[in-house]
Amino acid sequence: MDKPANRIVMIVGPTAVGKSDLGIYLAQQLQGEVINGDAYQIYRHMNIGTAKIMPDEMGGIPHHLLDIVDPQMAYSVAKFKTAAEAAITDVSSRRHLPILVGGTGFYLNSLRLNLPLGGKAPPTAVRQRWQAALAENGEHWLWEQLQQQDPVAANQIEPANTRRVIRALEVIELTGTRFSEQPQPQPRYETLVIGLTTARPVLYDRINTRVDAMMAAGLENEVANLLKTVPPDAQALQAIGYKELIPYFRGQADLATCVTLIKQHSRHFAKRQLTYFRNQMPTHWFDLVAHPEEKTAVVALVRDWLKQPAKGEKHELDR
């Protein structure tokens, strides 16, 4: 099938819902290649806790943007966008379909919408003042400042994404206009977004089971080895499954308590992921846990979309 060079497919959804498997299946059926869209699977030596797909699980499909950064290094949405655009160009040059797979909504949306992420850095004093305010008052207070000044931007940025909240407040302060009213470039790609979900009790049970499997596979040792060379406050170790185990190695908590926290935080994160994708991305939803046979419907949807003339993105279609 001829594949327009400016079209990409995204597979999104909460953790533990089968995104990686669907990405491989689509790539096999549609001559595609997978591009990672998870903020922590980019890091080397972080395999178990990020549920990173291993080479023997890839079904012969090329995977991009895995294991590209050392865990001591910071990473950003701007760096991801640049790397993903290069990967898309590479995949498209072979007339293959770029399939982005991941659960980091803001990373994927920055690519889908071609969000402006570079530009001149703000004055150091401005950033330091907002960072000090965050340290003193907390992330929810910081987000409330944005909500008061720019409700539209606040609705699009999660309180936990403090870097983005601070950036929005900086822009408002320095330009005198709302962050949401800044000029936005046109998207570079036509994007079809496939979302995976399942019933909440089923999802939570899958998350709990996955965490137990991670522990059995050696997550404790993986974190211990990372802590030999990576500072506990490094960006990479803020990932769920890693940060919760740090108190255990400091002698501040027992292992069972830490594992319980991993499960709890993973469930809460899954809920936030679903909210983000439903509110921020035009998504076609499927429940392949309850209805695995619908994989063929996903393939048919993508095939039909690829045949259509170039135009704007499809509207949301809840299934």
The Cα 36–Cα 51 span in angstroms is 12
Is 17 annotated to bind a ligand? Reply is: yes
| CB 81, CB 42: distance < 8 Å | no
Distance CA 97, CA 11 (A): 13
Q: How crowded is residue 240: how many other Cβ atoms within 10 Å of its Cβ?
A: 19
Residue 200: CB atoms within 10 Å: 13
282 marked ligand binding residue: no
Q: Are 3 and 96 in contact (CB under 8 A)?
A: yes
16 labelled ligand-binding: yes
Size (the chain), residues: 319
Q: How far apart are CA 13 and CA 116, in angstroms?
A: 24
The reply, when asked if residue 81 is annotated as ligand binding, is no
Q: How far is CA 153 from the centre of its chain?
A: 19
Q: How far is residue 84's CA from residue 73's CA, in Å, rounded to a whole number?
A: 18
- Binding annotation for substrate: 15-20
- Binding annotation: 13-20
- Binding annotation for ATP: 13-20
